[in-house]
Amino acid sequence: MAKPESKIIPADQGETPGNRQRVSLREAFHERIHANHMHGLWELASQMTRHPRPKMIPYMWRWSVLESIIKESGEAVPVGDERRALQLFNPGLGGRWATTNNLIAAVQVLLPGEVARAHRHTPTAIRFIIEGTGAYTAVDGERVYMAPGDLILTPSWSWHDHGNETGETVVWMDGLDIPLIQSLEAMFFQFYTAPQVPASRPPNASKQLHGHAHLSPTWVKEKPQSSPLLLYSWDQTREALSALRENDGSPFDGVALEYRHPQTGGPVMPTMACWVQLLRPGQQTKAHRHTGSAVYNVVHGTGSTIIDGQRFNWSKGDIIAIPPWALHEHLNASSTEDAVLFSIQDTPVLEALGLYYEKALEEKDGHQEVTSVFAAT
Ligand SMILES: [Fe+2]
Ligand SMILES: [Fe+2]
């Protein structure tokens, strides 16, 4: 079959009168279509990439920097109407309110005696507690009390406020799907009419009802999209990790466990999965890549994650952003201590849309060559 004649005007080479005429004809045509809010597909061809080419970059916020800024924020900024939460902007995303293309991570501080005003929003939120015991997030009238290592959920559109009646500062990592909600133009936000929502359920009621691993209350018929269990306590997480500590786990993630919706077995939130993973002393995982982005928080230990050839050396409290389709592998650098990483991932969105792809690095025994070491800019 004869090859159809290309409709695309070829690149012009040489300064012949014919070429000059073609260039000016094309430029005039482009000007005219742009003025009418159109672009030719041939102008956009570079955006149909062979594989994902995210704008976000792999990045790490060091705890030493976060800690000093947190301290300063407590003195410099009152808690006021907005929460005192330091939003981690990915340097590759041009000032967008985003840590990855779909997720925002923040570090939030609540000083003794403070209350962060009750509100609700369509973005879904999780809190992973870094420091401080005994403060709470009240979710739809239930106070959920915090301790380090706890995971607390705030499902989409649930009323919530945060309170600290203890004598110590409380710090946690927030994880939300704000960039995704913004690109879907599905943002709704409301303040409650009072600083706090009146208590309508006992403290930690969801844990009492749904927090018993393999046992579910039979009389509860409602199955919300987000997990009805609002508190995933660190003592249960630690117990599971230590029970599986000797297991080989995943070649790419070590002993990686996903927090689950107790009724469906699915991810805790429709847009976000939460993971915790343990790397034994000296353990090095193999490199893989997949669609979906992630934000990691180092819970314990020291080690490094190699992302597209760049080595990120981490220790407790550091927060690391991994872009979609980036090669990554983890290493516990210690010869004596376990390393534990908590992460949020947008995998459920990719899976729901049939866009989750994963690929192992097959060359070089599955390990990347380290070409640079991350230094914050
Ligand atoms: Fe909120
Ligand atoms: Fe991964």
Indicate whether 173 belongs to any domain.
yes
Distance from the alpha carbon of residue 188 to the mean position of ligand 2, in angstroms: 31
For all residues of the chain together, what is the average pLDDT? 93
Rounded alpha-carbon distances, angstroms, from residue 124 to 55, 130, 244, 253 = 23, 19, 30, 25
Residue 81 has pLDDT above 70, yes or no: no
Helix (H, G, I), strand (E, B) or coil at 304: strand
Q: Average the pLDDT over each of 27-31, 81-85, 264-268, 277-281 and give the range with the smallest value.
A: 81-85
Reported as a single tens digit per residue, the pLDDT across 87-138 is 999 999 999 999 999 999 999 999 999 888 999 999 999 999 999 999 999 9
User: Is position 11 within any domain?
Assistant: no
pLDDT above 80: residue 9:
no
Q: Nearest bound ligand to CA 121?
A: 1
Written as six digits, the tokens of 285 are 């995982």
> Tokens 């220790």 identify what position?
315
282-247-278 Cα angle (round to 5): 50
Task: Give the pLDDT confidence score for residue 82 in this predicted structure.
Answer: 67
State in Å: Cα 155 to ligand 2 middle: 25
| Average pLDDT score over residue span 209-227 | 93
- Whole-number Å distance, alpha carbon 256 to ligand 2 midpoint, is 10
The bound ligand whose nearest atom lies closest to the alpha carbon of 277 is 2
**Ligand nearest to the Cα of 120, by number:** 1
Q: Are 271 and 180 in contact (CB under 8 A)?
A: yes
- CA 252–ligand 2 middle distance (angstroms): 7
Residue 16 domain flag: no
Nearest listed ligand to the Cα of residue 157: 1
CA of 58 to the centre of ligand 1 (A): 26
Range of the domain at 352: 59-215+225-373
Q: Which residues pair with 144 in a beta bridge?
A: 137
Q: How far is the CA of 147 from the centre of ligand 1 (A)?
A: 19
- State the alpha helices, DSSP H only, in the chain: 17-35, 41-44, 63-76, 178-183, 205-210, 234-243, 347-352
Ligand nearest to the CA of 325: 2
In a domain, 294, yes or no: yes
Taking each continuous run of H as one helix and of E as one strand, the counts in the chain are: 7, 23
In the reported structure, the alpha carbon of residue 5 is separated from the centroid of ligand 1 by a whole-number distance in angstroms of 57
Give me the phi and psi of 42, to 5 degrees please. Answer: -65, -20
CB 341 within 8 A of CB 298: yes
Position 10 confidence tier, pLDDT thresholds 50, 70, 90:
low
Tokens of 298: 């180092």
- pLDDT, residue 199, reads 92
> How many domains are contained in the chain?
1
User: Quick one: which ligand is closest to 305's CA?
Assistant: 2
Centre of ligand 1 to C-alpha 122, Å, is 9
What's the rounded mean pLDDT across residues 188-205?
93
Cross-strand bridge partners of residue 250: 254
Kindly write down the DSSP assignment for every residue of 94-159, as one continuous string. Answer: TT-S-SSSS-EEEEEEE-TT-EEEEEEESS-EEEEEEE-SS-EEEETTEEEE--TT-EEEE-TT--
Query: Residue range 245-259: average pLDDT?
Result: 95
Q: Is the pLDDT of residue 285 over 90?
A: yes
358 CA to middle of ligand 2, Å? 8
Phi, psi of 245 (to 5 degrees): -55, -40
Query: What pLDDT score was predicted for residue 13?
Result: 59
Let me know if residue 54 belongs to a domain: no
Q: For residue 290, give the ligand nearest its CA.
A: 2
Query: Buried b / exposed e across 69-99, counting CB within 10 Å, b at 16+?
Result: ebeebbeeeebeeebbbbebbbebbeebebb
Q: Identify the CATH number of the domain in which residue 162 sits.
A: 2.60.120.10
- Say if 165 falls within a structural domain: yes
Asked whether residue 43 is assigned to any structural domain, the reply reads: no
> Ligand 2 centroid to 12 CA: how many Å?
45
pLDDT of 40: 96
User: Three-class SS string for 146-176?
Assistant: CCCCCEEEECCCCCEEEECCCCCCEEEEEEE
Residue 54, both tokens: 């995210």
Is 154 in contact with 178 (CB distance < 8 Å)?
A: no
**Is the model's pLDDT at 217 over the cut of 80?**
yes
Higher pLDDT, 8 or 141: 141
pLDDT at 77 (0 to 100): 81
Q: Which ligand is nearest to the CA of 327?
A: 2
Which residues touch 140 (CB under 8 Å, ≥6 apart)? Answer: 158, 159, 160, 197, 200, 201
Tokens encoding 107: 């570090």
Q: What percent of the chain lies above the pLDDT cut of 70?
A: 95
Say if 13 falls within a structural domain.
no
Q: What is the pTM of this model?
A: 0.92
Ligand with smallest separation from the Cα of 117: 1
